[in-house]
Amino acid sequence: MPFLWFRTWHLGVKSLLLHPLRSLLTVLGIFIGVASVVWLLAIGEGISRKAQQQIEELGATNIIIRSIKPPEESIENVGSSHSIVPYGVTRADFERLAATIPTIDRALPIREVRYRFGYLGRNIEGRLVGCTPEYADVNKLEVDRGRFLTDTDDREKWNHCALASEVAERLFPYEDPIGKAVRIERAFYLVVGVMKERTPSAGIGGSLAAQEFNDDVYIPIHTLWSRIGDIIVTRRTGSFEGEMIELSQVTLRVDKTENVLRTAALVKETLKPHHRKQDYAVVVPLELLEQARTTRLMFIVFMGLIAAISLVVGGIGIMNIMLATVTERTREIGIRRALGAKRGDIIRQFLVETIALSVMGGLTGILGGLTCRPLIAALRNLLLRAAPDVFDQLPQVIKEVTPLIVPWSVPLAFSISVTIGVIFGLYPAIRAAMMDPIEALRHE
């Protein structure tokens, strides 16, 4: 019996080699299908993993309340020559939440303002962030030199600041910024620390914009409230407009993960009576993370279906080639039947040929699929060197995504390729076996 199978495989491969180009094109169809399965699932997994990582960076036990400017039609007196628009989360909201919801372990107030920073004639624009010492821990900021802000800085309202990496490089290209004074508006702030470079965070939905941490200057939040205040005025010829925001964001840390969703509902109920306008948004990273995982499964299924279509097309190619082969070898089939070959022997011979094509296409397709990560990196670098302007216009996710090979996609793609080879090769094999030997011998 083993010799019979070996003989069948030997004859099958030998028959395929009689038409190498035709066999190669048939293998190519399976190769494209298998490689597509691995590639599409790897790209989908890379995009999904990146999205989940960005959400996880916000903290699974965190609840983020963000101030949002309401639509102009809902704001009274907007558009007048001298108008100040109050909106967003207030200090009273912050104190109310921290005092009334027992599951909140820590509350972090944040105020952000766009400002110009200067030192010895060098001026840059960036984001001034009023915060507490916990801000660095929550946002995973690491100190490069010096230190971050302390409770004493905040309590005493000292004019101390910590610089993000890019701000430090641009204001102090040739000297150490520690101990120097940076001008912010009309006041000077002593630099006590420089932070390491931090990867920007992506925007989450419409309520939490992307954050670029490398152009920040951090000062104690009580210093910001006392020196700068809540009103930011934009002056124009003959008029001015202003915004009054007490807090840009409040980050709440919940004691346990299982309490996050219940606490978020309490936060919304607590804030609702004190805000007539929808001037805030509550972002729950845990909720977003669960949604991202569900979306990942849907994305994988969708990508898998697209890739499966490629495999089916390859299977149709196998059927087409094998039907042509049966027609060409009709006389050979008649001779084998006349010499005593059974229908099962004919079916086995043609199935072996289709399986050989499928296995070859599956193996080469897997090798092609494993090149996904280095090949995409090479193409991205090539585009960056050849057309930097085009590269800059690409979406951020395309610039940064790293394909991740899904381990189960490799055996899955190979199994599907072999199964498709058997299914699409079965009909031509049965058709060959059902031929009348006498009619087959008469065939020219």
pTM across the whole model: 0.60
Whether residues 6 and 142 share a domain: the answer is: no
pLDDT at 419 (0 to 100):
82
Residues 369, 38 contacting (CB under 8 angstroms): yes
Taking only the tens place, the pLDDT of each residue in 354-390 is 888 888 888 888 888 888 888 888 888 888 888 878 7
Q: Is 283 part of a structural domain of the chain?
A: no
Whether residues 230 and 115 share a domain: the answer is: yes
Q: Is 205 part of a structural domain of the chain?
A: yes
Whether residues 376 and 247 share a domain: the answer is: no
Q: Which of 231, 246, 278 is the last residue of a domain?
A: 278
Spans in the chain with pLDDT lower than 50: 73, 81, 205-207
Could you tell me whether strands 160-163 and 187-195 are parallel, antiparallel, or unpaired per DSSP bridges? parallel
Tell me how far apart the alpha carbons of residues 37 and 308 are, in angstroms, rounded to a whole number.
7
Order of strands, edge to edge, in the sheet holding 82-86? 82-86, 239-244, 231-236
pLDDT at 190 (0 to 100):
94
Whether residues 107 and 256 share a domain: the answer is: yes
Whether residues 322 and 363 share a domain: the answer is: yes
pLDDT at 370 (0 to 100):
86
Angle at 294 between CA 208 and CA 262, to 5 degrees: 60
Whether residues 273 and 295 share a domain: the answer is: no
Residue 172: count of CB within 10 angstroms of its CB: 19
Q: Is 64 part of a structural domain of the chain?
A: no
Q: Is 61 part of a structural domain of the chain?
A: no
Whether residues 145 and 178 share a domain: the answer is: yes
Whether residues 307 and 241 share a domain: the answer is: no
Q: Is 389 part of a structural domain of the chain?
A: yes
Instruction: Give SS3 for 60.
Output: coil
Range of the structural domain that residue 434 is part of? 2-54+291-442
Beta bridge partners of 251: 64, 108
Q: Which of 244, 278, 312 is the last residue of a domain?
A: 278
Q: Is 431 part of a structural domain of the chain?
A: yes
pLDDT at 158 (0 to 100):
93
Instruction: Give SS3 for 256.
Output: coil
Which residue, chain included where needed, has tokens 């010895």?
120
Tell me how far apart the alpha carbons of residues 325 and 341 are, in angstroms, rounded to a whole number.
18
Number of folded domains that form the chain = 2
